[in-house]
Amino acid sequence: MADTATVVLKKGKDRAVRRRHPWIFSGAIARTEGTPESGDTVVVKDPDGQILGRGAYSPSSQIRVRMWTFDEKTPVDDALMHARLEEAVGLRRRLVLSHDTNCARLVFAEGDFLPGLVCDLYADTLVVQCQSAGAERWRDVVVSHLQKLTNAARVYERSDAEVRKLEGLPQRAGLLAGAAIDGLVAVKENGVSFLVDVEKGHKTGFYLDQRDSRARVRSLSSGQRVLNCFSYTGGFAVAALVGGAREAFSVDTSMSALELAERNVAQNGVDESKHTALKGDVFDVLRGMKDDGEIFDVIILDPPKFAPSAAHVDKAARGYKDLALRALSILSPGGVLVNFSCSGAIDREMFLRITQMAAAESGRSVRLLGHLGHPPDHPVPTSFPEGEYLKGLVSLAS
């Protein structure tokens, strides 16, 4: 893979790269020397010809180059991929994987200096998702290294994320190596068991990014009546019940997610009568519960991304505020609201402001107990704040 092509940046547009921001937008490029194809490695230079590093070229994306390295001398080759992957896997072994936790995000794209590449481990099953032209190009090399680094029994590909369309890449999913998957994969997270649908589930099957938040909910739930909104496969409800919740409700529009939530409750030896799965739109369910005089002690709001881009921020903000307000209207005195936004376009400060507005409108005294966010298998480079998409708040309503 010769990196013969060169991308020369416009004057002043080299600053972000020098600060190690990994993305080069098409508008920052003065000219391209050579004819790089999708996924090819290009040398990136400033207007004076100084080499700033090397990245993967993506001709159809606005993000035209994603940097593999900011070091002038480092070639982009098999050895670089191996070094990055070895470091990434080592970090998870050190910080996340244990006797009680056998699932983790092994590679978090830009967070592990491997832009566009996501690899998740679910027990002995590795799931790979290539979200960029560069990740796509190095897929086979990555898979081969990861198999050796993890001894996984199989590798499954879930390169069926929407973002691939922006890269001009087709949707693709299927087994890449090892034995076929036999149904759901059983994993452990902090000693709690979950069944994961690697083939058809959201993302690569499970919201690994909520591990620490589930642990927090577990610690808040003893004796409490808990409402888990946007439950997906019941992660927070199971955590609450394992933490001693008196009762837990999971609300989602997806029947298949709710069925798996019920199996996940049963998996953990919790009295199944303590869990109720409710199919419905959370906005309507919350309103109905208010009309019925239902009261909860802990309410979790973990909706899908309301703002896929900056253009959707206002509408998304109204959605997040409305949800928090509705939840506050059925929260007991001393109850805890745990609300999240996974919209990259809404930063932590804005999410806090949205929640403050809901609190003010509710007429209740609300105190912030803490912030939630990515666990350590989702590292965020200081040079790449965009990587911090998940923000959560824990609030106490008097």
By beta-carbon proximity to ligand SAH, the closer residue of 136 and 209 is: 209
Tell me whether residue 140 is exposed, middle or buried, using C-beta atoms within 10 angstroms of its C-beta: 0 to 12, 13 to 18, 19 or more: exposed
> Does the protein bind ligand SAH through residue 230 (CB under 6 A)?
yes
By beta-carbon proximity to ligand SAH, the closer residue of 36 and 243 is: 243
In sequence order, the 6+-apart residues with CB closer than 8 A to the CB of 293 are none
> Does the protein bind ligand SAH through residue 323 (CB under 6 A)?
no
CB 238 within 8 A of CB 217: no
> Does the protein bind ligand SAH through residue 243 (CB under 6 A)?
no
Instruction: Choose which of 122, 138, 156, 236 interacts with ligand SAH (CB under 6 A).
Output: 236
> Does the protein bind ligand SAH through residue 26 (CB under 6 A)?
no
DSSP string, 101-139: --EEEEEEGGGGT-TTEEEEEETTEEEEEE-SHHHHHTH
By beta-carbon proximity to ligand SAH, the closer residue of 43 and 394 is: 394
Alpha-carbon dihedral sign for residues 163, 168, 170, 174: negative
Residue 272, helix vs strand vs coil: helix
Give the nearest distance from C-beta 369 to ligand SAH in angstroms.
19
> Does the protein bind ligand SAH through residue 304 (CB under 6 A)?
yes
CB 168 within 8 A of CB 138: no
By beta-carbon proximity to ligand SAH, the closer residue of 72 and 281 is: 281
Please state the separation of Cα 233 from the chain's center in Å: 15
HSE toward the beta carbon, residue 331, CA cutoff 13 A: 29
By beta-carbon proximity to ligand SAH, the closer residue of 87 and 281 is: 281
Rounded to a whole number of angstroms, the distance between the first and last alpha carbons of the chain is: 62
323 token code pair = 């949800």
> How many residues lie near ligand SAH (CB under 6 A)?
18
Question: Which residues ranging from 159 to 218 are in contact with ligand SAH (CB under 6 A)?
Answer: 207, 210
Give the nearest distance from C-beta 196 to ligand SAH in angstroms.
10
Give the nearest distance from C-beta 187 to ligand SAH in angstroms.
12
CB 300 within 8 A of CB 338: yes
Of 119, 130, 229, 342, the active-site residue reads: 342
> Does the protein bind ligand SAH through residue 232 (CB under 6 A)?
yes
CB 40 within 8 A of CB 18: no
> Does the protein bind ligand SAH through residue 253 (CB under 6 A)?
yes
Please state the separation of Cα 73 from the chain's center in Å: 32
Binding track over 94-113 against ligand SAH, x by CB under 6 A: --------------------
Q: State yes or no: is 342 an active-site residue.
A: yes
By beta-carbon proximity to ligand SAH, the closer residue of 232 and 351 is: 232
Which active-site residues does the annotation give? Answer: 342
Which residues of the chain form contacts with ligand SAH (CB under 6 A)? 207, 210, 230-233, 235-236, 251-254, 257, 281-282, 302-304
